[in-house]
Chain A
Amino acid sequence: MIITINETPKIVIKNVYYTYANGTTALKNINLSVNEGELIGIMGMNGAGKTTLIRTLNGLIRPQKGNVYINGENIKSKNVGKLSKTVGIIFQNPNHQLFSNSVEDEIKFSLKNLNLSKSEVQGKTEMVLNTFNLGKYKERSPLTLSGGETKKLALASIVCRDPDILVFDEPTLGQDAKEIEFFTDLIKNEIKKRKTIVIVTHNIEFAIENVPRIILMANGEIIADGPTEELLTKEFLINKCSLVLPQITKFNTALNSIGIKCPKDIRFKNDMIIFLENYLQNKKVST
C-alpha cells in the first residue's frame, strides 16, 4: 500500500456539469477535492463519466456549469497547452500520440514544447529513456514497438514533462504482469516526489492493492468517495458500478462458508497469507 501525505488541495472540482452536443449528460454536480501528494482512483461502469471528468482537469472539456481549480486557480480562462505543464494526462490508446521517427524524438517532442534548452532536452531525454528501459529502442520507430512498450513510451512522454498532477486513463489495460509491476513502481516513485495522481481504472485488484482512495461513479455522478478497502468490499456499490468483488473478499466469504472463521477486515493478499499460515499452524498444534 502506498502511503500518501495529505495537505493543501491540488485539484478542486465544484458543482461541475457537462452535457455533450448529442444530449448525453456526462457529469452531474461533481464535487471533488484531491490533495497534494494524494493518489486517487476513479472507478465506475463504462459511460459513467470517468474519462469526461479527467478531461476537465486540463481544459480539454470546459464544464457548462461549475468550476475546476488547479493549485487554487480557476482554469476557466487557461489554455490546454499551458495547463499541460501542470496536468499531464496519459490517455488509454498510446497510438493516438506517437508520430515521430524514433523513440528518442517522441520524448524530445514533449520536452521541446516546454521551451527547454537543447542540452536540457538531451539530458532529460537520456534520463527518461533509462528510467523507462527504452534506451535500447531509442533509434527505433515508435510504430514498431510492442503494445506494452508503446504504452511505456506514451507514459514516458508525459512523465518527462514532470507535471505536478499525473492523470492515467486505464493504465493497466492490455498490460502483462511485469508491465503492471513497472507501472506500480512508477506511481510509487511519483508519490514520493509529492505528485498528485489520478487513475481511472476498471482493474479492481490493482486498485485494492495500490490506491488508498476511490471515487465511484455512475450515470455521471459520484456515488461514493472513500477508502478503497471499505468501498470496494461493499456489494451494493460494486454491483451499481458493474464491477466484481476483489478475489480476497470472495475467498474470505468462501472460507467462512466452509466454517473457517476468517475476519471480515482481511482485504489484502499479504494479510490473508499471514492469516492462513497462522490458521494452519494452530490446526497442526491442536491435532
Chain B
Amino acid sequence: MSLELLQAFKFRKKNTIIHNLDPRTKLLFSIFYSIAALMFTNIIPLLLIFLSLIPIIFIGKMIRDWFNSIKGLSFLIILIIIINTYFLSLSYAIAMILRIFIMISAFSIFFLTVHPNELALSLISMRVPYPYAFSFSLAFRFVPTIALEAQYILDAQQSRGYEMQQKGLINQIKNLFPLLVPLIVCSIKRAFNVAEALESRAFGSIKERTYYYALKFSLKDWIFTMYLFMFLIVVIFIKIQFNLMPNWFYWGLPV
C-alpha cells in the first residue's frame, strides 16, 4: 500500500465548479456513484460509470491527485486480480477493480473538494447532532496528518534497516506491522489529547449554538443534483432491464 493513497484524500483549495458546489451535493454524488458501482458485476456497465467520472475529475482540476489515489491502490489491485482470477474469473477480477476505482474516485473527489468545516456544516444541516458532526469532520481533517505521520514512521523504520518492498505476499503483510502499530498508537494518543484539549475549552457545554457560515443550495447545486438523480434512475433501470440490454453489454473475457 502506498502512502500516496492517503494524500489523495486531502482537501485542496481550487476555484472550480466542482469545488464551489455545496458539500451536500458532493456527498450525494459520492453515495450515488458508490451505489451504482455496487449494482453491477459486468465490465461494460462499470466501465461506463467509471468513464462518466472522468469529465468531473477534469473539470475539478484534480487529475494528479486522483491519479495518485489510483496509483496507491496498486497493492490492492494485485491482490484482487490474484484472488478473483484464482477463485472466479479474470473478467470478474477486472469488474471488481473497476468497482473499487469508481468508489475510491467518488470519495476522493468528495474529500479533495470539501473543506472539513463545510463537511461539519453539511452534516449539521442534515440534523446530525453537533458533537457527532464535529467528530466526523475532525476525523476527516486528520487524514492528511495521519498520512504525514505514516511517512514519518516509514522514514524512522527505514533508518533502522526496514525494507518495505520484500518479496512474497506474506512478507509484505508482515512488513506492514512496523508501520501500522506505531500509526495506530500515535493516532489513539492524539485522539486522547484532542479530547482533553476540547473538554478544557468547554466543548459541548452549550447545547444550542450558532454558526458563522451558512450553507446555501444554489442553482448549480440543483442542476447537479438533478443530474445525479437522473443518473441513478438510469442505472436502476438498466439493472432491472439488464436482460434486455444489447449483447455487447454482457461482454467479458473468455477466462
Contact = CB atoms under 8 A, between A and B. Distances in A.
Contacts of A90: 159
A171 interface: no
A89 B156 CA distance: 8
Nearest to A95: B186
Contact of A84 (B149, B161, B177): B161
A161 B161 contact: yes
A97 B182 contact: yes
A97 B185 CA distance: 11
Interface range on chain A: under 10, 10 to 19, 20 to 34, or 35 or more? 20 to 34
Contacts of B153: 96-97
B162 A60 contact: no
B149 to A, nearest CB: 7
A272 interface: no
Q: Which 3 A-B pairs have the closest CB atoms?
A: A113-B161, A99-B181, A97-B156
A208 interface: no
A58 interface: yes
Interface in A77-104: 79-81, 84-85, 87-91, 93, 95-99
Residue with the greatest number of chain B CB neighbours at <10 A, chosen from A58, A96, A98, A143: A96
Contacts of B171: none
Given A95-B186, A96-B186, A109 B159 contact: no
Contacts of A91: 152, 155-156, 159
B160 A109 contact: yes
A60 to B, nearest CB: 5
Considering residues B153, B161, B178, which has the most beta carbons from chain A within 10 angstroms of its beta carbon? B161
A88 B158 contact: no
9 contacts: A81-B158, A81-B162, A81-B163, A84-B158, A91-B152, A95-B182, A96-B149, A110-B161, A161-B160
A55 B155 contact: yes
Nearest to A61: B155
A98 B155 contact: no
A96 B158 contact: no
Interface residues of B, number: 20
A87 B149 CA distance: 22
Contact of A113 (B152, B156, B162, B180): B162
A161 B182 CA distance: 21
Given A79-B163, A91-B155, 13 more contacts: A55-B155, A80-B158, A81-B163, A84-B160, A84-B161, A87-B159, A89-B159, A96-B182, A97-B159, A99-B177, A99-B180, A110-B160, A158-B159
Contacts of B178: 97, 99, 109
Nearest to B188: A143
Interface in B165-180: 177-178, 180
Nearest to B64: A21
B152 A93 contact: yes
* Most chain B Cβ neighbours within 10 Å, of A85, A88, A97, A114: A97
A157 interface: yes
A183 B156 CA distance: 19
A95 B153 CA distance: 9
Contacts of A60: 155, 158-159
Contacts of A84: 158-161
Contacts of A58: 158-159
Interface string B19-33: 000000000000000
Nearest to A60: B155
Contacts of B220: none
B189 interface: yes
A161 B160 CA distance: 8
Contacts of B185: 95, 98-99, 143
A109 B181 CA distance: 14
Contact of B189 (A95, A99, A113, A158): A95
Contacts of A99: 177-178, 180-182, 185
A84 B189 CA distance: 29
A89 B154 CA distance: 12
A158 B159 CA distance: 8
Given A96-B149, A97-B153, A97-B156, A85 B181 contact: no
Given A95-B182, A95-B185, A95-B189, A114 B152 contact: no
B142 to A, nearest CB: 16
